[in-house]
Chains A and B, each alone.
Chain A
């Protein structure tokens, strides 16, 4: 297998097997499904627009109507020291997830999950440099995590709950944090290939 020619041949054989047993749908069915997806998206965007318009109208009315004094907010204000503020990344068209690269550390088990701090990084020619954005998130202990160096160099899959001890200290391990279209974190992948400045 060190021989590159034999690797080429073996992979070609494997791919040929995949091709031989494939029974793909007709092109027309593919197009029908594509058109259906497009219609669904358009409909969702339109209904979203209607909801937004309704919310703006209701908000506008509440501004002009004199009403009872609103009670003090129970929620604590967002700390401003973490400027610049964090905005979850949005998946590009055709993608289901968008990733944020960052140190994941300071893990703490809370009543409703595992809280971690993310110190965001950006990549410049394979090297990661801090962006200045730091934020905390609370995730399910069942959140899947792809690991390698953090698990002793062996690639594998773990749950966040199993990694709390290793992520408890200061910034050490860099992960790609995957956000879905709703801004929820679905998984973490150790970005062991990045060199951090």
Chain B
């Protein structure tokens, strides 16, 4: 992959990957950081990227691993707070998104990752299995348990379709 091809790949996928990682980890700034760092490593290992033939999946996997690594580092030190500086001047997230992020954070990371890969990145179960290095059966179980857990957590909130119907009835 030469400079031109890399720049085109970066421009075409960085926003999408930041969105996907945001859904996986629930923090916009962190998502941007890990995706950019993953692209740095992608350029560093560009020969391997050419061989794999799936550079976007490679970057997404590395970004996810970096996010997981950072969580661990953050738990053992305060480097995260020092690194960030003042928060950027961006509007607060949509209230529905806050609810969804809070719900996603309550389910295990492996289920969250599987749900985002399947429902947002449109990967088939076997592709999710390949990307997460898990058996297909495990991915199916993660998806099923994750969806059930989200349904439980979001029951009777604004994101529960049943809650919307009840409100319509109540308002006549």
Contact = CB atoms under 8 A, between A and B. Distances in A.
Interface stretch (A34-42, A43-51, A81-89): A34-42
Given A3-B161, A15-B120, A94 B45 contact: yes
A3, A24, A35, most chain B CB atoms within 10 A: A24
Contact of A22 (B28, B69, B97): B28
Interface size class of B (residues with CB under 8 A): 35 or more
Interface string A140-155: 0010101010000001
B10 A30 contact: yes
A21 B90 contact: yes
A2 B147 contact: yes
A17 B15 contact: no
A95 B63 CA distance: 10
A31 interface: yes
A72 interface: no
A7, A8, A22, A37, most chain B CB atoms within 10 A: A22
Which are the 10 A-B pairs with shortest beta-carbon distances?
A: A18-B22, A34-B43, A15-B19, A19-B19, A27-B7, A18-B19, A96-B69, A144-B75, A34-B44, A27-B10
Interface of A: 1-4, 6-8, 10-19, 21-25, 27-28, 30-31, 33-35, 37-38, 93-97, 125-126, 142, 144, 146, 148, 155, 157, 178, 186-187, 193
B151 interface: yes
A4, A17, A25, A155, most chain B CB atoms within 10 A: A17
B64 to A, nearest CB: 11
B161 A6 contact: yes
B108 A155 contact: yes
Interface string B37-66: 011111111001000000000100010011
